[in-house]
């Protein structure tokens, strides 16, 4: 989202996918920048943003409004019939507000594949040729809730895997899962569960990568065909033989 | 939007309507307040906001994000299956960016009833029992555009009047069209075209009311059954005999 050229190229690639498709996005850096201007400085615990009331308004504006609608307008301009959604819209993902235990995460929604309104998604994807573009927001009890974008992508992939052959792609700013965080050329091309379990105790994976990998293997275990993790710049051009990123399988 | 109690009551009334329904909203005051905090001070010409690039981002955030998603979440909590839309979503209202003549209004979209994707709206309203909640934004050529909420309501009403018996309700902060702006009890109960034409030269109507009345009569002329203008607090409880607000007919 932060690099105009890369985003342009990504949207071209995404618009070019001919199969039914869904885009899930966040917008954390844009929200943080706007938050600074507004004096809303979110706190973080274990890398997770604490969503107080002001932060909830901030992410609702930025994820659900600014970023979502810009993406939708730009995809429409590429002939891709995008339609922006949060979990609240059409009740497409109903969350449970995270209970307070040791930490109060604030307005954060936890979700499972059972919370996904697959009937609505089927109608949009299959009958109307619409491309859902999800902002990383859900809802419960009349309030919007903040939910991690990777989690939403993973949960949607699992919920749709009963009726679709799903490929889940996580895009981030590295070329894939790296064996050595300092070497971009150390991408692990194929990471089946067995190799993951072998490498995990050696603290090979960066802290930020672990939730992504948890989501990835949860998706694979629940019926998603394959998960790819890598750089948004060229992932979408992958063929079945997969030329970029890290392929995660059972 | 600015009065929590009134909004609560309005949402209850709106959720209670059993016929297919659409809500169209703006959010101008909230956008102006946030704009002030961010140093974005929009200029106005003839009561219309000039939408420069910073203002477009502001209204996209506030109308399309904050206000739209709060309304959707609160309606969902009332058992009303709301789904937020801008004109870009599903290409539901494709605008033309207003050409620059004497004044450059900036990122503003002009629309006609032919620009409405009635196929998508029919599917949402009739087949899926969904309640579209429109933010006053449209799109063209890959950009979001700012469009007056009353105009969007009017254009949607006209586009749907071929297949639905449409009642168009404009809610604002007065009890109806007033014969004397200083007297809330001077509501004109019934304003057919003939009476409007008689009263117009006497400068009876407030300047802010004239665009609403233009939109209202344009809608009536184009097939909308009736238009009601009045206070959001009690308009939706009207029966066929109409007890509140100003009824506008041919």
Asked if residue A6 lies in contact with residue A232, where contact means CB atoms within 8 angstroms, the answer is: yes
Q: What is the rounded distance in angstroms from the CA atom of residue B212 to the CA atom of residue A101?
A: 52
The reported pLDDT for the residue numbered B156 is 98
The answer, yes or no, to whether residue A34 has pLDDT greater than 80, is yes
Which chain B residue's Cα is nearest to A121? B128
Which band of pLDDT confidence, cut at 50, 70 and 90, is reported for residue B28? confident
What is the DSSP secondary structure assignment for residue A178, as one 8-state letter? B
Tens of pLDDT, residues B29-53: 899 999 999 999 878 887 677 999 9
Tens of pLDDT, residues B195-211: 999 999 988 898 888 88
Measure the CA angle with vertex A65, ends A64 and A67; round to 5°.
85
H, E, C per residue of chain B: CCCHHHHHHHHHHHHHCCCCCCEEECCHHHHHHHHHHHCCCCCEECCEECECHHHHHHHHHHHHHHHHHHHHHHHHCCCCCEEEECCCHHHCEECEECCCCCCCCECEEECCHHHECHHHHHHHHHHCCCEEEEECEEEECCEEEECCHHHHHHHHHHHHCCCCCCEEEEEECCCCCECCCCCCCCECCEEEHHHHHHHHHHCCCCCCHHHHHHHHHHHHHCCCCEEEEEECCCHHHCCCCCCCCEEEEC
Alpha-carbon Rg for chain B in angstroms = 18
Tens of pLDDT, residues A36-55: 999 998 788 876 779 999 99
Q: What is the rounded distance in angstroms from the CA atom of residue A243 to the CA atom of residue A176?
A: 11
Phi, psi of A33 (to 5 degrees): -60, -45
Q: Which domains does chain A possess? A: 1-164 (3.40.1160.10), 166-250 (no CATH)
Q: What is the rounded distance in angstroms from the CA atom of residue B231 to the CA atom of residue B153?
A: 16
Tens of pLDDT, residues B95-130: 999 999 999 999 999 999 999 999 999 999 999 999
Asked if A65 and B60 come within 8 Å (Cβ–Cβ), the reply is yes
Q: What is the rounded distance in angstroms from the CA atom of residue A209 to the CA atom of residue B46?
A: 54
- The fraction of chain B above a pLDDT of 70, given in percent, is 96
Asked if A61 and B63 come within 8 Å (Cβ–Cβ), the reply is no
Asked if B62 and A65 come within 8 Å (Cβ–Cβ), the reply is yes
pLDDT (average), residues A79-86 = 98
pLDDT (average), residues A161-169 = 95
This prediction's pTM: 0.95
What is the DSSP secondary structure assignment for residue A100, as one 8-state letter? P
The reported pLDDT for the residue numbered B99 is 95
Looking at the DSSP bridge assignments, the partners of residue A97 are A109
Give the Cβ contact number of residue A85 at 10 Å: 28
Tens of pLDDT, residues B126-172: 999 999 999 999 999 999 999 999 999 999 999 999 999 999 999 98
Which band of pLDDT confidence, cut at 50, 70 and 90, is reported for residue B235? confident
The reported pLDDT for the residue numbered B242 is 55
The reported pLDDT for the residue numbered B243 is 65
Cα pseudo-dihedral B126, B131, B133, B139, rounded to 10: -20
The reported pLDDT for the residue numbered A238 is 59
Chain A CB contacts of B82 below 8 Å: 88-90
Among B88, B125, B126, the strongest candidate for a mutation testing the A interface, having the largest count of A CBs within 10 A, is B88
Q: What is the rounded distance in angstroms from the CA atom of residue A57 to the CA atom of residue A52?
A: 9
Q: What is the rounded distance in angstroms from the CA atom of residue A151 to the CA atom of residue B9?
A: 35
Chain B CB contacts of A66 below 8 Å: 57, 60-61, 64-65
Asked if A66 and B73 come within 8 Å (Cβ–Cβ), the reply is no
The reported pLDDT for the residue numbered B192 is 95
The reported pLDDT for the residue numbered A242 is 55
List, in order, residues 6 or more apart from B95 with CB less than 8 Å away. B87, B109, B110, B111, B115, B138, B139, B140, B145, B147
End-to-end Cα distance, chain A: 31
Tens of pLDDT, residues A228-246: 999 887 777 655 555 689 9
Which band of pLDDT confidence, cut at 50, 70 and 90, is reported for residue B1? confident
């Amino acid at each position: 989202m932060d690099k105009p050229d890369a985003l342009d190229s990504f949207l071209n690639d995404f618009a070019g996918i001919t199969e039914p498709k869904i885009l899930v996005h966040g917008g954390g850096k844009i929200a943080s920048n706007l938050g600074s201007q507004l004096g809303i400085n979110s706190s973080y615990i274990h890398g997770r943003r604490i969503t107080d009331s002001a932060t909830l308004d901030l992410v609702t504006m930025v994820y659900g409004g600014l970023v979502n609608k810009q993406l939708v307008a730009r995809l429409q301009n590429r002939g891709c019939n995008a339609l922006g959604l949060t979990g609240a819209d059409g009740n497409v993902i109903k969350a449970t507000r995270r209970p307070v235990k040791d930490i109060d995460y604030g307005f954060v929604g936890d979700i499972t594949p059972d919370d996904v309104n697959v009937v609505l998604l089927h109608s949009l994807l299959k009958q109307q040729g619409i491309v859902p573009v999800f902002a990383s927001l859900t809802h419960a009890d009349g309030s919007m809730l903040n939910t991690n974008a990777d989690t939403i992508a993973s949960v949607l992939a699992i919920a749709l895997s009963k009726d679709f052959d799903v490929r889940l792609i996580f895009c981030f700013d590295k070329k894939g899962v790296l064996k050595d965080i300092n070497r971009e050329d150390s991408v692990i091309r194929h990471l089946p569960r067995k190799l993951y379990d072998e490498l995990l105790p050696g603290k090979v994976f960066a802290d930020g990568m672990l939730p992504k990998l948890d989501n990835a293997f949860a998706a694979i275990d629940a019926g998603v065909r394959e998960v790819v993790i890598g750089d948004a710049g060229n992932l979408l051009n992958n063929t079945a033989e997969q030329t970029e990123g890290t392929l995660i399988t059972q």
